[in-house]
A and B are shown apart, each in its own frame.
Chain A
Amino acid sequence: MSPREDDAIARSLRGLRERRIAPVWDRMDEPDAVLFESLWEDLVALGLTAIGLPEEHGGVELEASSLASVLTELGAAAPALGCALIGHLTATALLVNAGVPIGEGRGALAFSPLDARPAARFALAGSLSGAVRVGLAWPSWIVVPARRDTEPRLCVVALRQRGVRFEGRPSSHGLRLFPFGTLTLEGAIPSYEVAWPEAGRTAALADGLVTALLCGMASELADRAMSFAFDRYQGGKMIRDHDAVRALVGPIELARRPLAALALATLTQDEPGDGGASAFAADIVRQAGLDAIQTMGGSGYMQDYGVERYLRDAGTLETSWIHAAARRREIARARFAEMER
Chain B
Amino acid sequence: MRQEHGLGDFDRFPVAPLLALGAPDVARQCREIVPRARDYVARHLRGRVERWDDEARHDHSFVAWSAIDAAPKYGFLSLYLPGLFGGGNYGPVAASLFAEEIASVDAGISVVFGAHGLALALILASLEMPIIARLGRAITDAERQGKAMLLSLAHTEPAAGSDVEDETDLRRARVVSRFARVAGGYRLDARKVFISNGSVARWHVVTAYGDPARPTETMAAFLVPADARGCEVGRIERKLGQRLSPATEILCDDVFVPEEDAILMPNPGRCIDTTLSVTRGPVGALSAGIIRGVLERTLAYLDRRAELAREQWVTMALADILAALQTSRAVYMESALAAEAWGIARSTNGVPRHVQRAIGRTRWVDRIVGSPFFSVQTRSRYERDVDVERLQQLVAHASIAKVVCSDLAVRSAAQAMEILGDDANDPRWGVEKCLRDAKLAQIFEGTNQINRLHIARGLLKEAH
Contacts and interface: CB of A to CB of B under 8 A. Distances in A.
Contacts, number: 115
Nearest to B435: A315
B449 A248 contact: yes
Contacts of A180: 425-426
A302 interface: yes
Interface string A268-311: 00000000000000000010001001100110111110001001
Nearest to A328: B313
Given A290-B439, A320-B425, A297 B447 contact: yes
B414 interface: yes
A286 B435 CA distance: 12
A301 B435 CA distance: 12
Contacts of B417: 315, 318-319
A236 B237 contact: no
Contacts of B450: 235, 244
A294 B238 contact: no
B156 interface: yes
A298 B444 contact: yes
A297 B425 contact: no
Given A233-B174, A235-B172, A302-B238, A316 B425 contact: yes
B255 interface: no
A171 interface: yes
A245 B450 CA distance: 10
Contacts of A319: 417-418, 420-422, 424-425
Nearest to A132: B422
Contact of B169 (A236, A318, A326): A236
A311 B440 CA distance: 13
B174 A297 contact: no
A58 B193 CA distance: 54
* Centre residue among A232, A286, A300, A319 by max chain B CB count within 10 A: A319
A284 to B, nearest CB: 13
Interface string A132-176: 011100000000000000000000000000000000000111110
Interface string A313-324: 001101110011
Nearest to B425: A171
A316 B15 CA distance: 40
B418 A325 contact: yes
Q: How large is the interface on B (under 10, 10 to 19, 20 to 34, 35 or more residues)?
A: 35 or more
B458 interface: no
A312 B413 CA distance: 13
Contacts of B237: 302, 304
Interface in A101-146: 133-135
A170 to B, nearest CB: 8
A34 B449 CA distance: 43
A173 B418 contact: no
A191 interface: no
Given A180-B425, A302-B238, A325 B54 contact: no
Contact of B421 (A236, A248, A303, A326): A326
Contacts of A173: 424-425, 432, 436
A298 B422 contact: no
A236 to B, nearest CB: 4
Interface string B37-68: 00000000000001001100000000000000
Contacts of A325: 313, 317, 418-419
Contacts of A242: 449
A134 B422 CA distance: 8
* Centre residue among A233, A235, A236, A315 by max chain B CB count within 10 A: A235
Given A172-B433, A236-B169, A315-B435, A286 B425 contact: no
A314 to B, nearest CB: 11
Interface stretch (B85-93, B121-129, B158-166, B218-226): B158-166
* Centre residue among B172, B194, B426, B450 by max chain A CB count within 10 A: B426
A234 B163 contact: yes
A19 interface: no
Task: Tell me the interface secondary structure of chain A in the complex.
Answer: helix
A10 B360 CA distance: 75
Given A298-B194, A325-B418, A133 B423 contact: yes
A341 interface: no
Contacts of B238: 302-304
Task: Tell me the interface secondary structure of chain B in the complex.
Answer: helix
A297 B193 CA distance: 12
B31 interface: no
A329 interface: yes
A302 B426 CA distance: 22
Nearest to B241: A301
A182 B86 CA distance: 55
Contacts of B159: 232-233
A171 to B, nearest CB: 4
B427 interface: yes
A300 B442 CA distance: 12
B442 A323 contact: no
A290 B410 contact: yes
Contacts of A234: 160-163, 169
Nearest to A172: B427
A326 B424 CA distance: 15
B449 to A, nearest CB: 4
A320 B194 contact: no
A297 B421 contact: no
B410 A303 contact: no
Given A319-B425, A320-B422, A311 B447 contact: no
B421 A293 contact: no
A297 B414 contact: no
B444 to A, nearest CB: 7
A319 B416 CA distance: 10
B401 to A, nearest CB: 18
Contacts of A286: 414
Contacts of B160: 234
A245 B449 contact: yes
* Centre residue among B422, B425, B426 by max chain A CB count within 10 A: B425
B193 A298 contact: yes
Contacts of A329: 313
B299 interface: no
A323 B423 CA distance: 11
Which 7 pairs show the lowest CB-CB distances between chains A and B? A172-B427, A236-B172, A171-B425, A244-B449, A303-B238, A308-B240, A319-B424
Interface of B: 50, 53-54, 156, 159-163, 169, 171-172, 174, 193-194, 237-241, 313, 317, 410, 414, 417-427, 432-433, 435-436, 439-440, 442-444, 447-450, 452-453
Given A242-B449, A244-B449, A319-B424, 5 more contacts: A134-B422, A232-B159, A293-B439, A316-B424, A320-B424
23 contacts: A171-B425, A172-B432, A173-B432, A180-B425, A180-B426, A234-B160, A234-B169, A290-B410, A290-B439, A294-B447, A297-B162, A298-B444, A301-B240, A301-B241, A302-B238, A302-B239, A304-B238, A311-B439, A315-B414, A315-B432, A319-B424, A325-B317, A326-B421
Interface of A: 133-135, 171-175, 180, 232-236, 242, 244-245, 248, 286, 290, 293-294, 297-298, 300-304, 308, 311-312, 315-316, 318-320, 323-326, 329
